[in-house]
Amino acid sequence: MIRIRALNAFAVTALLCLTSSHAVLAQERPDTPFKLSYGAYRYSDRTTGQDLNLRWETPGTHLWIGHYQDQSFGHQTRVGFDRGITLNEAAQLQVSMQLASSHFFGASVQLALGDPFFVLAGLGRTNLKPYYNLNFDPNDSVTLGLGWRVSDQSIVALTVVADNRLGTGQQVWHLSARHPLPWNIRLTVDLNYKDGVGPDGPAHGWGLTTTLDFRRWFARLALDQKQNFEKFDAMRLTAGLRF
């Protein structure tokens, strides 16, 4: 199998950071600016993949370097950054850029307006060079969403990420929520549904990602049908440490 994709518009991760009153995790945990994570992937054709990522966080800005490999795609190294900008009390902007081996370049921008109820719009573009997409949404896409900032730490949102460049009709709907739990634990859940045409023809399927976020570490489990609109299902387990 071949898994070649491009950068998406950071639909859920960017949304939950962008629309938070605290903007990014680094502002909540200034004593832990680094985050090291390792992801293990198992696909329904019995192949496996691995992803290693180091991220540096400061209020409003993230920088990262990562490496992905599997038996079919091969390997790819990537670097990038994203920055959240507060325009006023009810408007936040987030920009992102990423470079990767195989001469890949991608960028995205998102704007959230409103408080406590908000709307979201974003756009992602790449140079269409080979890239293994670890965000699993349509590439070169438009993002639209709406949500409710229940509190400083609790958000509920509905978004759609849709291809608006390559004519695939690919779109992924996300129903996502983040909420604090006792003992300084934060729960993030993303339920998604995809539909569109992939490299093997029409594809549709469900996905569920659950993340438990502690002060110093986090764990994430994701089940995804037709990952990247291909014929293969995937299970992903990721763990990370802040320091």
- Whole-number pLDDT of residue 189: 98
- Whole-number pLDDT of residue 148: 97
Instruction: Identify which has the larger pLDDT, 14 or 174.
Output: 174
Collapsed DSSP state (helix, strand, coil) of residue 223: strand
Instruction: Identify which has the larger pLDDT, 17 or 158.
Output: 158
Angle at 102 between CA 98 and CA 108, to 5 degrees: 20
- Whole-number pLDDT of residue 30: 56
Reported as a pLDDT band with limits 50, 70 and 90, residue 21 is very low
Collapsed DSSP state (helix, strand, coil) of residue 188: strand
Q: What is the mean pLDDT of residues 19-35?
A: 56
Pick the range with the lowest mean pLDDT from 26-35, 58-67, 103-112, 120-129.
26-35
Task: Enter the tokens of residue 237.
Answer: 């387990």
Q: Using the predicted structure, report yes or no on whether residue 48 has a pLDDT greater than 80.
A: yes
Q: What is the mean pLDDT of residues 62-68?
A: 96
DSSP structure class, residue 165: S
Task: Enter the tokens of residue 113.
Answer: 């307006």
Q: Using the predicted structure, report yes or no on whether residue 200 has a pLDDT greater than 50.
A: yes
Q: What is the mean pLDDT of residues 139-159?
A: 94
Instruction: Identify which has the larger pLDDT, 2 or 139.
Output: 139
pTM given for the model: 0.87
- Whole-number pLDDT of residue 4: 40
Q: Using the predicted structure, report yes or no on whether residue 180 has a pLDDT greater than 50.
A: yes
- Whole-number pLDDT of residue 124: 95
- Whole-number pLDDT of residue 139: 78
Q: What is the mean pLDDT of residues 4-17?
A: 44
Query: What whole-number percentage of the chain has pLDDT above 90?
Result: 73
Task: Write a three-state SS string for 62-124.
Answer: EEEEEEEEECCCEEEEEEEEEEEEEEECCEEEEEEEEEECCCEEEEEEEEEECCCEEEEEEEE
Pick the range with the lowest mean pLDDT from 53-57, 135-139, 148-152.
135-139
CATH architecture of 11-242: Beta Barrel (2.40)
Q: Using the predicted structure, report yes or no on whether residue 193 has a pLDDT greater than 50.
A: yes
- Whole-number pLDDT of residue 130: 85
Among 163, 156, 217, CA closest to 191: 156
Q: What residues contact residue 60 under an 8 Å CB cut-off, 6+ apart? A: 23, 24, 27, 83, 84, 85, 86
CA dihedral over 68, 71, 73, 74, signed as positive or negative? positive
Task: Tell me the domain boundaries of the chain.
Answer: 11-242
Q: What is the mean pLDDT of residues 94-106?
A: 94
Angle at 108 between CA 211 and CA 26, to 5 degrees: 45
Reported as a pLDDT band with limits 50, 70 and 90, residue 154 is very high
Q: What mean pLDDT value characterizes the chain?
A: 88
